[in-house]
Chains A and B, each alone.
Chain A
């Protein structure tokens, strides 16, 4: 074999602590090395030409570049090799910068270590095989999970580019939390007024198939080739016949057995219900848990009311399978519950604020409903217990957020802004009312955000108190809010009529289950994790799956919409090509030695290991062995390490190659 070694100075980066010329000279004597040179910037055009010319001149069949991290320039040098006619996988990189020069200050040490690093790479490249990238076709359809503003935006963007989208929403209507909001910061425009046209657009878009009241059941396949099974939950109403007239809802006699999810428990809804008047689709659902028919078989008021015969008590959940090439996950958030102490959790809740014992201690979304013109009070701020207009409201920020001892370490990001908005809306509606806000810091980064908070303080005279609240207790019909004013350095007690807790944003409770179905990463809170926090913020580590909105981290509407458009753009990039190329670094099973124990299948995080039957010519089953689906395999090597009979190899990182690297040091 003829191997070329190219040592880069990276300006002073490597050159300062490694004698690059000496490294090149020493490496020339490694067996198999035909040429060994050094150059100031190997990644520059002249540097690359140096490599290309050497490959041609010396007829090299292996190349080692001693420079920076492969993350930085592996692609660059592989391309150079390829341009010179050498298989790009006959190239190895020795990291003389991050692994050597940046962490040492002694030239002698750095130089000796660099020679070792190059020797290792040379031994590896000697055992490399020419490889070709894996090519897979792309199904140019997208699945969007979640029909809140993020999912709506992503679906509209992808559909607008001319591709088919399946939008799955678990609730009976799309719209998400944004449909519950009264006004939005920092402009105070009506949330529903800007949202509902987009909901209708989704419903009418020829490229969007909307599956409301549906959930993702199973996900198979890989980037460009997913097969998704969706459970279409039984509405007990036939969507093909229903006209959305609402007669059945009117006639349903079970009016006060179930709290309205949309009204955040501040009002009842019938057993037969549409979540809110502008729901899309405008098709009701029967809540079987409270419906009399499902309990006693007696009531059929809705059947009598329906002129179309659309009620179908026997309807079953249906399962449909959709082939898609990309998935946008936009499952959003919910609020940390103040109702009661969660049973299972590592966080301890807020007994000092009453765990929902006090009816007039509510959370932010409940306040949104109280302030909303379409809400249970018609937009008048009235407290839940006795419907009185509260004369004094205390808002408490950071309930659960930024509180590692009882809640979560993170900042929920939107609460500073919506609390300012709430206080402002209250003052606009109850002019003589007093609004107090307890805060830790005011985090109002964003266009027009700081100005908005200042408006609340200066124009609407909301009283901000920096400090935490230690206890809320009831006394003579008032809620005594006891806290600390850390600026004045004193305790304060406010006798409020109502308290609004800005509780932390948390991911949907099923997010971990969904992540496992999708094979994507999630953090200890249940938020989905991106590949790179700065440069690949909407992509998952599993190819072809993208993130949008608050399922990734707490986000407000503008950020969610931007992220959704970014996720859509990433899906469209994928749809830009007919065939996908990916690195051939995948696991391969030696079928002759595989004993079929399938430990590899158990440890594979990507569901890439399948079972394959080996039959003789007569068709008799000889044995069952493991088989790695190249499309799914991410080349992590876990199966390789687990296999008891050493029957799995990671192509490009075989045991032989790795042992050779270790021996090179011995």
Chain B
């Protein structure tokens, strides 16, 4: 299987381990990634709050590049990129006047659509059977909370693969790794997202609520599929602590890292050493049991 790949800025920087683990896992599952040549910003974060046209034109440019490079499907692992690409494509398809303006600023025609997948849809396409077949390590010693955040299963009006308020698709994938998942309250709560820099206090407050709830429901790790979520939940965890709480660290892993663990990929190749909260102790506990061949 070949699939177009739009990494987005985070995966080349703050969430390098997401990119690393993604490439490792897909290689192990015989999926080849074709990175869009000359890709640019997706229009998330700054663009879509400052200039609507820009927030549509940027994804349109990237998708047009994918189209020209012969890709029928493009996967965007970052939830924000995914949301921008899907939303922009929808807007262009339904508003001819906007399409005209986008074509004008891009100085090129936009012809046809490219199917945009997020990381969950890609794994659904690959299938849980394929993951289970290549599994070398049973993760049943791990209990995780699947955190979707605000963007992964939205906009609800455009996405058909899961419910925006009670999503279940990540749990279904994780079942293939053997890890247990918990029913908890804050799967789709806001982590504070891009306020991380300007209003760290808000992010710390919101992210703490999420982690507290995950912990209270018995999770020993939180699984995410969004670089923004990851950095807020992982990097800001130190700030959440206060003496009264006495909370233990709770590792925050990418979905790809968890699947990579089950596939028996080396921790370093998955970038597991790049997190602020060290997942080592947890992994040491979980990694004891190998799948009988």
Give residues in A with beta carbon < 8 Å to B.
Answer: 341, 348-352, 355, 405, 471, 473-475
B21 to chain A, nearest CB (A): 29
Interface size on B, residues (CB 8 A): 11
Assembly CA distance A355 to B165 (angstroms): 10
Cα–Cα, bound, A355→B163 (Å): 12
Task: Please report the C-alpha to C-alpha distance between residue A341 and residue B165 in the assembled complex, in whole angstroms.
Answer: 11
Q: Which residues of B contact A (CB under 8 A)?
A: 156-157, 163-166, 185-186, 189, 213, 216
What's the minimum C-beta distance from A545 to chain B, rounded to whole angstroms? 37
Ordered by A's residue number, 25 sampled pairs between the chains whose C-beta atoms are within 8 Å are A341-B163, A341-B166, A348-B156, A348-B163, A348-B164, A349-B163, A349-B165, A350-B165, A351-B163, A351-B164, A351-B165, A351-B166, A352-B165, A352-B166, A355-B166, A405-B156, A405-B157, A471-B185, A471-B189, A473-B185, A473-B186, A474-B185, A475-B185, A475-B213, A475-B216
**Closest CB-CB distance, B76 to chain A, in whole Å?**
24
Bound together, the chains give a CA A471 to CA B210 distance in angstroms of 14
* Residue of B with least CB distance to A474: B185
- Shortest CB-to-CB span from A353 to chain B, Å, is 8
A245–B163 CA distance with the chains assembled, in angstroms: 50
Q: Which residue of A lies closest to B185 (CB)?
A: A473
The smallest beta-carbon distance between A406 and chain B, in angstroms, is: 8
Residues of B within 8 A of A473 (CB): 185-186
Separation of A352 and B163 alpha carbons in the complex (Å): 10
Q: Which residue in chain A gives the minimum CB-CB distance to B167?
A: A351
Residues of the B chain whose Cβ atoms lie less than 8 Å from the Cβ of A355: 166
5 closest Cβ pairs, A-B complex: A351-B165, A351-B166, A473-B185, A352-B165, A351-B163
* Complex-state Cα separation, A474 to B164, whole angstroms: 19
Q: How far is it, in angstroms, between the C-alpha of A471 and the C-alpha of B213 when the chains are bound? A: 14
A471 to B165, CA, bound (A): 9
The complex places the Cα of A563 from the Cα of B62 at a distance, in Å, of 59
Max count, chain A CB within 10 A of own CB: residue among B163, B164, B165, B189: B165
How far is the CB of A80 from the nearest CB of chain B, in Å?
A: 54
* B residues less than 8 Å from A350 (CB atoms): 165
**Neighbouring B residues of A474 by C-beta, 8 Å:** 185
- The residue in chain A whose Cβ has the minimal distance to the Cβ of B166 is A351
User: In the complex, how many angstroms separate the beta carbon of B145 from the nearest chain A beta carbon?
Assistant: 13
Closest-CB distance, A348 to chain B (whole angstroms)? 7
Q: Nearest B residue to A476 by beta-carbon distance?
A: B216
Return B187 CB to nearest CB of chain A, in Å: 10
List residues of chain A with CB within 8 A of the CB of B156: 348, 405
CB distance from B208 to the nearest CB of A (A): 15
Residues of B within 8 A of A349 (CB): 163, 165
In the assembled complex, the Cα of A405 lies from the Cα of B157 at a distance in Å of 8
A-B contacts besides A348-B163, A349-B165, 14 pairs, CB < 8 Å: A341-B166, A348-B156, A348-B164, A351-B164, A351-B166, A352-B165, A352-B166, A405-B156, A405-B157, A471-B185, A471-B189, A473-B186, A474-B185, A475-B213
- Which A residues are in CB contact (< 8 Å) with B216? 475
Q: Which residues of A contact B186 (CB under 8 A)?
A: 473
Give the docked Cα–Cα distance between A473 and B212 (Å).
Answer: 14
Residue of B nearest to A350 (CB): B165
Min CB distance A437 to B, Å, is: 22
> How many Å lie between the Cα of A473 and that of B216 in the bound state?
13
CB contacts (< 8 Å) of A475 on chain B: these are: 185, 213, 216
Give the chain B neighbours of A352 by CB distance below 8 A: 165-166
Report chain A residues within 8 Å CB of B213: 475
A352 to B164, CA, bound (A): 9
A residues near B189, Cβ cutoff 8 Å = 471
Which A-chain residue is minimally distant from B183 (CB atoms)? Answer: A357
A410 vs B102: C-alpha distance in the bound complex, in angstroms?
36
The answer for the CA separation of A348 and B213 in the assembled complex, in Å, is: 26
Within the complex, the shortest CB–CB distance from B243 to chain A, in Å, comes to: 22
Q: Give the residue name and chain of the A residue nearest to B216 (CB).
A: A475
- For A480, give the chain B residue with the smallest CB separation: B185
How far does the Cβ of A350 sit from chain B's closest Cβ, in whole Å? 7
CA of A471 to CA of B164 in the docked complex: distance in angstroms?
Answer: 12
Q: How far is the CB of B211 from chain A (nearest CB, A)?
A: 15
Chain B residues with Cβ below 8 Å from A348 are 156, 163-164
**Minimum CB–CB distance for B66 against chain A, Å:** 30
Residue of chain B at shortest CB distance from A352: B165
A501 → chain B, closest Cβ, in Å? 14
Distance in angstroms from A276 CB to nearest chain B CB is 34
Residues of B within 8 A of A341 (CB): 163, 166
Residues of A within 8 A of B166 (CB): 341, 351-352, 355
Note all chain A residues with C-beta closer than 8 A to B157: 405
Minimum CB–CB distance for A281 against chain B, Å: 43
Chain A hits for B164, CB < 8 A? 348, 351
* C-alpha spacing A600/B164, complex, angstroms: 46
Whole-angstrom distance between the alpha carbons of A475 and B186 in the complex?
11
A17 to B185, CA, bound (A): 68
Note all chain B residues with C-beta closer than 8 A to A351: 163-166
For the complex, give the distance between the alpha carbons of A242 and B166 in Å.
49
B199 to chain A, nearest CB (A): 16
List A contacts of B163 (CB < 8 A). Answer: 341, 348-349, 351
A405: nearest chain-B partner, CB-CB: B157
Q: In the complex, which residue of chain A has the Cβ closest to the Cβ of B165?
A: A351
Q: Which residues of A contact B165 (CB under 8 A)?
A: 349-352
Identity of the chain A residue whose Cβ is nearest the Cβ of B156 in the assembled complex: A348
Distance in Å: Cβ of A126 to nearest Cβ of chain B: 48
Bound complex: CA of A473 vs CA of B185, how far in Å? 6
Least CB distance, B151 to chain A, in whole angstroms: 16
Which residue, B156, B164, B185, B189, has most C-beta atoms of chain A within 10 A?
B185
Give Cα A355 to B183, complex, Å.
Answer: 14
Most buried by A among B156, B164, B166, B189: B166
Docked pose: A473 CA to B184 CA in angstroms: 9
Bound-state CA distance A351–B167 (Å) is: 9
User: What is the CA–CA distance of A170 and B51 in the complex, to the nearest angstrom?
Assistant: 58
Q: How far is the CA of A348 from the CA of B153 in the complex (A)?
A: 13
Interface centre among A348, A351, A352, A405 (most CB of B within 10 A): A351
Of all chain A residues, the one with the shortest Cβ separation from B163 is A351
Chain A nearest CB from B153 CB (Å) reads 10
Q: How far is the CA of A475 from the CA of B216 in the complex (A)?
A: 9
Q: Give Cα A405–Cα B165 distance, bound, in whole angstroms.
A: 13
Report the Cα distance A350→B156, complex, angstroms: 12
Q: Name A355's closest neighbour in chain B (CB-CB).
A: B166
Q: What is the chain A residue whose CB lies nearest that of B186?
A: A473
Closest Cβ of chain A: how far from B186's Cβ, in Å? 7
B20 to chain A, nearest CB (A): 33
B202–chain A nearest beta-carbon distance, Å: 13
CB closest residue in chain A, given B184: A473
Complex CA distance for A354 and B164, rounded to whole angstroms: 12
* Min CB gap B80→A, angstroms: 21
Give the Cβ gap from A199 to chain B, nearest Cβ, in Å: 41
Q: How far is the CB of B147 from chain A (nearest CB, A)?
A: 14
> Smallest distance from the beta carbon of A354 to chain B beta carbons, Å?
8
CA distance A341 to B163 in the complex (A): 9
Closest chain-A Cβ to B270's Cβ sits at a distance in Å of 32
Task: Give CA–CA (A291, B110) in the complex, Å.
Answer: 64
- Considering only CB atoms, which chain B residue lies closest to A353 in the complex? B165
Rounded to whole angstroms, the CA-CA distance of A474 and B216 in the bound complex is: 11
CB distance from A478 to the nearest CB of B (A): 12
In angstroms, how far is the closest chain A Cβ from the Cβ of B240? 18
Question: A244 → chain B, closest Cβ, in Å?
Answer: 45
A474 to B182, CA, bound (A): 14
Bound complex: CA A341 to CA B189 (Å): 20
Which residues of A have CB within 8 Å of B185?
A: 471, 473-475
CA distance A341 to B213 in the complex (A): 25
Residues of B within 8 A of A471 (CB): 185, 189
Q: Complex: how many Å from CA A351 to CA B157?
A: 15
Residues of B within 8 Å of A405, CB to CB, are 156-157
A237 to chain B, nearest CB (A): 43
Q: Shortest Cβ distance from A113 into chain B, in angstroms?
A: 35
In the complex, the chain B residue whose C-beta lies closest to that of A406 is: B156
Output the least CB separation between A343 and chain B (Å): 12
Question: How distant is the Cα of A474 from the Cα of B157 in the complex, in angstroms?
Answer: 27
CA distance A471 to B184 in the complex (A): 13
